[in-house]
């Protein structure tokens, strides 16, 4: 069992350390930031894809709503008047 685990780790290390192929078929699998596609220039300038912008805005709105609810509950718990 130990020998199989060692061989598996050795093979994974070899596969990960091999140089990246420049086949055109494999270029489609690359991220925009790592390829020489036209979208890379937009990414390089700090821009984001439209779906990333929408997702970010939605995440910010959810975060703000959650924080507001948390602080409202905290204020109610801390400053609740005792009768």
Separation CA 26–CA 20 (nearest Å): 10
Residue 66 within a domain: yes
Dihedrals phi, psi of 35, to nearest 5 degrees: -110, 170
Residue 73 within a domain: yes
* Residue ranges making up the domain that contains 66: 48-83
| Tally of structural domains, the chain | 1
Nearest CA among 67, 69, 33 for reference residue 49: 33
pTM: predicted TM-score of the whole model, two decimal places: 0.41
Residue 40 within a domain: no
Separation CA 49–CA 72 (nearest Å): 35
Residue 12 within a domain: no
CB 42 within 8 A of CB 35: no
Residue 29 within a domain: no
Residue 82 within a domain: yes
Reading the chain (83 residues) residue by residue, the pLDDT tens digits are 999 999 999 999 988 887 766 665 565 565 655 555 555 555 555 677 888 889 999 999 999 999 999 999 998 888 876 65
Residue 27 within a domain: no
Residue 19 within a domain: no
């Amino acid at each position: 069992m130990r020998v199989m685990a060692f061989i598996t780790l050795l093979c994974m290390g070899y596969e990960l350390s091999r140089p990246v192929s420049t086949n055109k078929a494999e270029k489609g699998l690359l991220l925009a930031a790592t390829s020489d596609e036209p979208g890379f220039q937009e990414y390089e300038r700090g821009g984001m894809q439209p779906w990333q912008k929408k997702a970010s805005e939605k995440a910010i709105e959810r975060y703000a709503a959650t924080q507001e609810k948390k602080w409202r509950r905290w204020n109610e718990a801390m400053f609740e008047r005792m009768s």
